[in-house]
């Protein structure tokens, strides 16, 4: 095929980028070579629009073993153990083919983690769907949830939590962000840098087919009316093979055979081989005839660009091929020596005895474009005066809120995930953070995913800060010391200055919060071009975070534990209604500045909460977020079936006190006898703490105003999603 | 007591049940690879949950033809106790060691949650530590747990007391509302004729540790140890 302007454009390369291809090659590339440039320089693989800003995020702390740049981030949790984790998007494929898109998203993130030597111990997912009334939403929810479950359940890694939002801005671009957390020995972490000239390059796992060719390029472009035609670019997952691959890799990793290992994710054999060679400063020669293939007559172009799943590339120590082969044969997986490392710094590919591609590695991998795209700061919205926001009956508003799509129980979703396999799930889904015991120890990890996209739209900077702060709070609320963050930045088209502005400001906000809270970013993923026909998604910088609990017996959950316990609110309540769910769900308005996050206070309050939990002073803890204080109270009541009576503050309009979304707040319960100690400790820690009520009964009461049965709230909260999903159009 | 856990490709509750057995017996169970055709003398064989061979054909259908199954059948015929949990139950029905089959859940979805079970018979190695008619709480996690048998088989299973557990409400009522997957007669677990083989969909090993929210499952393992030691 001749390289025409059309061919270049169809590979997603701009004219300037193609000029650089010509300079690097010193000649016209052939089609295979052009394909390789195209995927390596795609937004998905090269981070060319976001790189400049990602570099500003804090990535270091004494407990960080490996920050961004490897397959996943690695942190030290003491006792010779390390936690390896990352969150990654599979947005574009999941919209086109929800079951396989979501399933392979789970498969891909699992590989990122076990390729570094960790046994995956927990999966999470952050999902964003369109308006429930949109014709496709039900079908997408059903497919994505079935896909995540179908994959995760089979591989035997518990899916322990996550979050699900609905908003019309995701009608044409849903978000499927999957996170895996794994456990490894701190002195047995595997990296991807190739080493040792002459060492064998080995392919293991599934055979290569024609599926997923150009997936990375597809994920780097906007959707239009014809996005359905991109279905063939979606990969097909095989969780059974993945399970075998996990066991085989971990078995081989226990020996001393592996020099370097890298999973074949986006851009398949191309990106894995280039990354390994580039990191090691070496060259690779591969004979593509040796690649296990499941289809006939595959060209070099197809072999290099296939995104067939469940495959790994390894560099072995010389002479260790037979040991490794035996392990993979035991697990009935393909094993093939497909090449060796060279000192040429070049990627030389052969097919049918001919050299079919010969490219310099570093210029491709390291000199990928980096753009300083023009950006504009968003218009700041005015701060709403709560007194100017119409009041509704608090119980009518509460009923609307607990049954609105964002706050309704997600039990319908997480009951389709095996959240208990591995027998270490101490807190099941539905709480502030999942709690997973470190197998065989008294320690546990807390895991959460967070982002409030409506805040990010209103003010990306504040929204970025809030996403990080909320993750910090959710970990603290179960008694965990927050350790590190993985970020999954989902935005629209970065070529538009206002979208680029969202990216820049959100990253700046996240960076501020991470620095202030000693909460470094150790891994991440960027998904741009989440637009359809020019309509972008809400800016959604999803945060996944991990914290450590030293004694799994000293953790907290949000359910009320008994009658007659005191309820305290920690943190200040000012009645901030701008960008609140009350405003959106009850009044139908999406306006106002979002609540500001006071980072210095967050840290103090988080420390205070963790101390209270560690000392056994509190019986239940719940972070206050979406919906505000009354919703948080209702969630604690619904989790337990126990009611409460609370006394509203007199200095604020009732609706602002009930539903304001002031940040940095928790609700806790305690025995009356403990309250003086708690108040005293709070005072010394300069943390605001106030007794506002008492647990008990079967109703949630606002003293002097009225009440509602907890059972009614539960029925509303549990009812929405099953009712929505059982609509006859489910399979439309 | 020495137990063995049979490991198939993509078994995934093998470690979980091994931990429960280790805790009950005080010694680690043997982990027996499915391609082995021999196994040392053991007092109990356990086929764990998971997705053997990906369950791409029918659940358990491939595993039922693994080399180790011949040995398991021979031992079971001699009376060595055999426990199949979840996918293990599916494998044992496919292998003809237990009556009936497990079909797709009536709701067509994978379900992971706690269920209540009524103990139908305490007269077995597996259930001797439960009171007959008592209610226990075990988790389920399956997409194919809908127990089915032809009317003749079903009446034999019922008539000869081969039903071990039935899905019920918290107060022990066996009702359609308490049936999570459409199982005939709310059957959650069945014995073979001699009650030396038990298959059940719920996971006793998942509630055998107080930190995980309950210990109703532990009595099954403790009872086996007492009976077999």
CA distance A154 to B52: 9
A221 and A311, same domain (yes or no): yes
Compute the nearest-CA separation of A251 from chain B (Å).
14
A269 and A332, same domain (yes or no): yes
- A415–chain B Cβ distance below 8 A for any pair: yes
Report yes or no on A349 lying in a domain.
yes
Chain B CB contacts of A641 under 8 Å are none
- A452–chain B Cβ distance below 8 A for any pair: no
Residues sharing a CB contact under 8 Å with residue A120, sequence separation 6 or more, in sequence order: A110, A113, A114, A155, A157, A180, A181, A182, A246
| Mean pLDDT value of segment B114-134 | 97
Least confident range of A209-218, A624-633, B55-64 = A209-218
Indicate if the pLDDT at residue A732 is higher than 50.
no
- B212–chain A Cβ distance below 8 A for any pair: yes
Instruction: Check B86, B94, B120, B168 and give the catalytic one.
Output: B86
Number of domains composing chain A: 3
- B144–chain A Cβ distance below 8 A for any pair: no
Report yes or no on A392 lying in a domain.
no
% of residues, chain A, pLDDT over 90: 90
Indicate if the pLDDT at residue A542 is higher than 50.
yes
Pairing type for strands B187-191 and B197-200 reads: antiparallel
* Short-list A719, A659, A127, CA closest to A411: A719
- B9–chain A Cβ distance below 8 A for any pair: yes
pLDDT of residue A229: 60
Confidence of residue A2 (pLDDT cuts 50, 70, 90): confident
Global pTM reads 0.96
Contact A567, A485 (CB under 8 A): no
A221 and A336, same domain (yes or no): yes
% of residues, chain A, pLDDT over 70: 97
Distances (CA, A) of B205 to A653, B19, B195: 52, 8, 20
Nearest to A418 among B141, B211, B212 (CB): B141
CATH at A146: 3.30.1330.10
Compute the nearest-CA separation of B139 from chain A (Å).
9
Report yes or no on A406 lying in a domain.
no
pLDDT, tens digit, 9 for 90 and up, residues A585-607 = 999 999 999 999 999 999 999 99
Contact B68, B6 (CB under 8 A): yes
Contact A244 B10 (CB under 8 A): yes
Indicate if the pLDDT at residue A666 is higher than 60.
yes
* Short-list B48, B86, B58, CA closest to B68: B48
A28 and A83, same domain (yes or no): no
Chain B CB contacts of A422 under 8 Å are 15-16
Cα angle for residues A468, A472, A477 (degrees, 5° grid)? 145
Contact A661, A581 (CB under 8 A): yes
pLDDT of residue A364: 86
A598 and A658, same domain (yes or no): yes
pLDDT, tens digit, 9 for 90 and up, residues A667-677 = 999 999 999 99
Report yes or no on A381 lying in a domain.
no
Indicate if the pLDDT at residue A234 is higher than 90.
no
Q: What is the crossing angle of helices A460-477 and A497-516, to 10°?
A: 40
ipTM above 0.95, yes or no: yes
Contact B104, B64 (CB under 8 A): no
- A731–chain B Cβ distance below 8 A for any pair: no
Q: Which residues of A are part of the catalytic machinery?
A: 44, 90
Q: What is the DSSP string of A324-371?
A: HHHHHHHTT-EEEEEEEEESSSEEEEEETTEEEEEEEHHHHHTS----
Compute the nearest-CA separation of B176 from chain A (Å).
19
Helix (H, G, I), strand (E, B) or coil at A695: strand
What value does the mean pLDDT of chain A take? 95
Indicate if the pLDDT at residue A1 is higher than 90.
no
pLDDT, tens digit, 9 for 90 and up, residues A5-43 = 988 988 889 999 999 999 999 999 999 999 999 989 888
Contact B110 A238 (CB under 8 A): no
pLDDT of residue A731: 45
A10 and A64, same domain (yes or no): no
Report yes or no on A394 lying in a domain.
no
A264 and A348, same domain (yes or no): yes
* Short-list A43, A28, A139, CA closest to A725: A139
Least confident range of A477-491, A538-552, B59-73 = B59-73
pLDDT, tens digit, 9 for 90 and up, residues A352-405 = 999 999 999 998 887 778 899 999 998 999 999 999 999 999 999 999 999 999
pLDDT, tens digit, 9 for 90 and up, residues A415-451 = 999 999 999 999 999 999 999 999 999 999 999 999 9
Range of the domain at A324: 5-41+191-367
What value does the mean pLDDT of chain B take? 96
| Mean pLDDT value of segment B33-37 | 89
Range of the domain at B24: 3-228
pLDDT of residue A242: 96
Compute the nearest-CA separation of B140 from chain A (Å).
9
Indicate if the pLDDT at residue A146 is higher than 90.
yes
Ramachandran angles phi, psi of A97, nearest 5°: -145, 85
Report yes or no on A645 lying in a domain.
yes
CATH at B224: 3.40.50.880
Residue of A nearest to B209 (CA): A423
* Short-list A358, A266, A297, CA closest to A30: A358
- Last residue within a domain, chosen from A514, A549, A584: A549
Chain B CB contacts of A414 under 8 Å are 112
Which uninterrupted H or E stretch holds A621?
A: strand A620-623
Distances (CA, A) of B23 to B18, B205, B218, B219: 8, 11, 9, 12
Number of domains composing chain B: 1
Report yes or no on A328 lying in a domain.
yes
CA distance A239 to A252: 20
pLDDT of residue A643: 98
Helix (H, G, I), strand (E, B) or coil at A151: helix
Interface test with A, best of B87, B112, B181, B207 (most A CBs within 10 A): B112
pLDDT of residue B204: 98
Contact B111 A150 (CB under 8 A): no
CA distance A716 to A409: 9
Per-residue HEC secondary structure of chain B comes to: CCEEEEECCCECCHHHHHHHHHHHHCCCCEEEECCCCCCCCCCEEEECCECHHHHCCCCCCCHHHCHHHHHHHHHHHCCCCEEEECHHHHHHHHCCCCCCEEECCCCCCCEEEEEEEEECCCCCCCCCCCCCCCEEEEEEEECCCEEECCHHHHHHHHHCCCEEEEEECCCCCCCHHHCCCCCHHHEEEEECCCCCEEEECCCHHHHCEHHHCECCCHHHHHHHHHHHC
Nearest to B139 among A153, A420, A422 (CB): A420
Nearest to A426 among B9, B143, B212 (CB): B212
A436 and A351, same domain (yes or no): no
Residue of B nearest to A552 (CA): B211
Report yes or no on A143 lying in a domain.
yes
A207 and A277, same domain (yes or no): yes
C-alpha A218 chain-centroid distance? 20
Cβ neighbours, 10 Å, residue A380: 11
Least confident range of A640-654, B47-61, B162-176 = B47-61
- B138–chain A Cβ distance below 8 A for any pair: no
Chain B CB contacts of A331 under 8 Å are 9
Helix (H, G, I), strand (E, B) or coil at A644: strand
pLDDT of residue B60: 87
pLDDT of residue B47: 98
Interface test with B, best of A331, A420, A437 (most B CBs within 10 A): A420
Residue A363 in tokens? 């210029």
A126 and A65, same domain (yes or no): yes
- A5–chain B Cβ distance below 8 A for any pair: no
CATH at A331: 3.90.650.10
A717 and A583, same domain (yes or no): yes
Chain A CB contacts of B49 under 8 Å are 421
End-to-end Cα distance, chain B: 5
Which uninterrupted H or E stretch holds A34?
A: helix A31-40
pLDDT of residue A274: 93
Compute the nearest-CA separation of B113 from chain A (Å).
6
- B111–chain A Cβ distance below 8 A for any pair: yes
Compute the nearest-CA separation of A656 from chain B (Å).
37
A544 and A578, same domain (yes or no): no
| Mean pLDDT value of segment A501-506 | 98
Q: Looking at A517-614, list the stretches that DSSP marks H as alpha helix, in order from N- to C-terminal side.
A: 581, 599-614
């Amino acid at each position: 095929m001749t390289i025409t302007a059309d061919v270049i454009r169809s590979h997603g390369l701009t004219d300037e980028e193609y000029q650089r291809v010509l300079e690097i090659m010193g000649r016209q590339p052939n089609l295979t070579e052009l394909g390789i440039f195209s995927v390596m320089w795609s937004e998905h693989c090269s981070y060319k629009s976001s790189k400049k800003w990602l570099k500003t995020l804090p990535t270091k702390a004494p407990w960080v073993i490996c920050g961004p740049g490897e397959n996943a981030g690695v942190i030290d949790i003491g006792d010779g153990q390390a936690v390896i984790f990352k969150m990654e998007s599979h947005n574009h494929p999941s919209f086109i083919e929800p079951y396989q898109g979501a399933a392979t998203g789970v498969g891909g993130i699992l590989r990122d983690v076990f390729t570094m030597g960790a046994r995956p111990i927990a999966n999470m997912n952050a999902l964003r769907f369109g308006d429930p009334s949109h014709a496709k939403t039900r079908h997408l929810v059903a497919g994505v949830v079935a896909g995540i479950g179908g994959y995760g359940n089979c591989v035997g890694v518990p899916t322990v939590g996550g979050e699900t939002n609905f908003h019309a801005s995701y009608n044409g671009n849903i978000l499927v962000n999957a996170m895996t957390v794994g456990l490894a020995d701190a002195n047995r972490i595997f990296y991807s840098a190739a080493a040792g000239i002459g060492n064998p390059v080995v392919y293991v796992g599934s055979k290569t087919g024609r599926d997923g060719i150009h997936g990375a390029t597809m994920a780097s472009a906007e959707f239009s009316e014809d996005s359905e035609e991109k279905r063939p670019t979606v990969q097909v997952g095989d969780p059974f093979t993945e399970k075998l691959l996990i066991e085989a890799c971990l078995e081989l990793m226990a020996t001393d055979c592996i020099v370097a290992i890298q999973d074949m994710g986006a851009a398949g054999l191309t990106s894995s081989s280039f990354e390994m060679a580039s990191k090691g400063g070496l060259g690779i020669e591969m004979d593509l005839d040796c690649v296990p293939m499941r289809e006939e007559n595959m060209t070099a172009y197809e072999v290099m660009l296939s995104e067939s799943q469940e495959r790994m590339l390894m560099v072995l120590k010389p002479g260790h091929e037979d040991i490794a082969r035996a392990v993979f044969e035991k697990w009935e997986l393909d094993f093939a020596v497909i090449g060796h490392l060279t000192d040429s710094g070049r990627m030389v590919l052969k097919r049918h005895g001919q050299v079919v591609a010969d490219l310099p590695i570093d210029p491709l991998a390291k000199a990928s474009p980096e753009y300083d795209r023009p950006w504009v700061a968003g218009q700041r919205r005015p701060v709403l005066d709560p007194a100017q926001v119409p009041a509704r009956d608090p119980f009518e508003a509460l009923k609307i809120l607990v049954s609105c799509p964002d706050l309704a129980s997600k039990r319908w979703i997480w009951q389709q995930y095996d959240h208990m396999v591995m027998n270490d799930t101490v807190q099941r889904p539905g709480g502030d953070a999942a709690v997973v015991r470190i197998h065989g120890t008294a320690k546990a990890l807390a895991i959460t995913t967070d982002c409030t996209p409506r805040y990010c739209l209103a003010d990306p900077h504040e929204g970025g800060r809030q996403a990080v702060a909320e993750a910090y709070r959710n970990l603290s609320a179960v008694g965990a010391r927050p350790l590190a963050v993985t970020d999954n930045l989902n935005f629209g088209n970065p070529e538009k200055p206002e979208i680029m502005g969202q990216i820049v400001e959100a990253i700046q906000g996240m960076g501020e919060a991470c620095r202030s809270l000693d909460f470094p970013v150790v891994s991440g993923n960027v998904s741009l071009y989440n637009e359809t026909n020019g309509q972008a998604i809400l800016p959604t910088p999803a945060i996944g975070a991990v914290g450590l609990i030293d004694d799994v017996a000293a953790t907290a959950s949000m359910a009320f534990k008994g009658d007659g316990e005191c309820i305290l609110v920690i943190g200040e309540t000012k009645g901030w209604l701008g960008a609140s769910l009350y405003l959106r769900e009850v009044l139908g308005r999406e306006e106002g500045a979002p609540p500001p996050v006071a980072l210095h206070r967050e840290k103090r309050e988080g420390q205070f909460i963790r101390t209270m939990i560690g000392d056994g002073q509190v019986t239940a803890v719940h972070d206050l977020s979406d919906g505000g204080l009354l919703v948080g109270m209702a969630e604690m009541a619904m989790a337990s079936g126990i009611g409460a009576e609370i006394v509203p503050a007199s200095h604020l309009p009732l609706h602002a006190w009930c539903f304001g979304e002031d940040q940095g707040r928790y609700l806790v319960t305690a025995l009356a006898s403990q309250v003086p100690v708690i108040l005293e400790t709070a005072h010394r820690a300069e943390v605001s703490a106030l007794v506002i009520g008492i647990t008990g009964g079967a109703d949630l009461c606002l003293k002097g105003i009225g009440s509602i049965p907890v059972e009614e709230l539960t029925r509303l909260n549990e009812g929405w999603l099953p009712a929505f999903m059982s609509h006859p159009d489910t399979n439309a | 007591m020495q137990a063995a856990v049979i490991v198939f490709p993509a078994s995934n509750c093998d470690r979980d049940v091994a931990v429960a057995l280790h805790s009950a017996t005080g010694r680690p169970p043997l982990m027996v690879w499915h391609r082995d055709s021999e196994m040392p003398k053991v007092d109990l064989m356990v086929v764990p949950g998971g997705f053997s061979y990906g369950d791409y054909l029918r659940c358990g259908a491939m595993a039922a033809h693994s080399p180790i199954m011949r040995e398991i059948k021979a031992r079971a015929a001699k009376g060595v106790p055999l426990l199949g949990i979840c996918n293990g139950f599916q494998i044992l029905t496919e292998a003809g060691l237990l009556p009936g089959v497990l079909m797709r859940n009536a709701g067509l979805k994978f379900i992971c949650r706690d269920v209540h079970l009524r103990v139908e018979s305490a007269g077995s190695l597996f259930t001797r530590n439960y009171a007959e008619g008592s209610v226990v709480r075990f988790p389920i996690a399956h997409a194919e747990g809908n127990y089915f048998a032809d009317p003749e088989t079903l009446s034999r299973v019922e008539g000869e007391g081969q039903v071990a557990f039935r899905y019920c409400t918290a107060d022990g009522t066996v009702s359609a509302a308490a049936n999570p997957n459409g199982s005939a007669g709310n059957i959650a677990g069945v014995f073979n004729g001699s009650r030396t083989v038990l298959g059940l969909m719920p996971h006793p090993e998942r509630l055998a540790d107080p930190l995980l929210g309950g210990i109703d499952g532990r009595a099954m393992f403790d009872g086996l140890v007492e009976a077999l030691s």
